[in-house]
A and B are shown apart, each in its own frame.
Chain A
Amino acid sequence: DQQVKQNSPSLSVQEGRISILNCDYTNSMFDYFLWYKKYPAEGPTFLISISSIKDKNEDGRFTVFLNKSAKHLSLHIVPSQPGDSAVYFCAARWPGNTPLVFGKGTRLSVIA
């Protein structure tokens, strides 16, 4: 039973436009959510995170939104750049020094 779900395996966006990646979770005990970017044959790279006490966190071109009532979070990338093309993983964890639970990832392709 997947606790973190990314229902879109792929997304294609034109350069300069907004990319919106979505993620749903089922466990209401998660208190911290993260987005990672991953290239083939490399480990995931941390992008941005959000605590469950917030509903928005922004870092440059990246903004994460959290809707706790819907158990949904999204990552917005504006403007999208070709270098953003990668697989994006949504992750969540319980309180404390606990491991991350990952979604299956969404492959983003930004077309020039």
Chain B
Amino acid sequence: GAVVSQHPSRVICKSGTSVKIECRSLDFQATTMFWYRQFPKQSLMLMATSNEGSKATYEQGVEKDKFLINHASLTLSTLTVTSAHPEDSSFYICSARGQILGRANSPLHFGNGTRLTVT
């Protein structure tokens, strides 16, 4: 089945530094990947849609200059949290949709998430 790999799984950084999170589709090509964020006991909130070869589309309230998304290939999207602050501490999860021939619908597959703690 479709596998999405996300790295790192956990990162602790100091306020003001930048953190890069990688998301790879391992056995399929993903022209579109989605980045979500989850705060404790809350739902998964869509941050942005990452499109291979073009600019990402950000949801309202998500700062594009703070959360830089690069989707340089069909199997890799990266999210960089720039100048991180404690309020950016959260669980970040990427996802991609594996296309199954002959099926109009296919589910999103998620990475294992990255727990970011900014001190």
Contact residues of A with B, CB < 8 Å? 2, 32, 34, 36, 41-46, 49, 51, 89, 91, 97, 99-105
Contacts and interface: CB of A to CB of B under 8 A. Distances in A.
B71 interface: no
Interface of B: 4, 6, 9-10, 31-32, 34, 36, 41-46, 49, 91, 93, 95, 97, 104-105, 107-113, 115
Nearest to B9: A41
Contacts of A100: 34, 44, 46, 95, 108
A102 B43 contact: yes
Chain B binding surface, main DSSP class? strand
Contacts of A101: 46
Contacts of A49: 105, 107
20 contacts: A32-B105, A34-B108, A36-B110, A41-B9, A41-B91, A43-B4, A46-B107, A46-B108, A46-B109, A49-B107, A89-B43, A89-B44, A97-B31, A99-B34, A99-B49, A99-B108, A100-B34, A101-B46, A104-B41, A104-B43
Given A34-B107, A97-B32, A99-B49, A43 B43 contact: no
Contacts of A2: 43
Nearest to B4: A43
A46 B96 CA distance: 12
Most chain B beta carbons < 10 A, residue from A44, A103, A104: A44
A13 B9 CA distance: 31
A97 B9 CA distance: 27
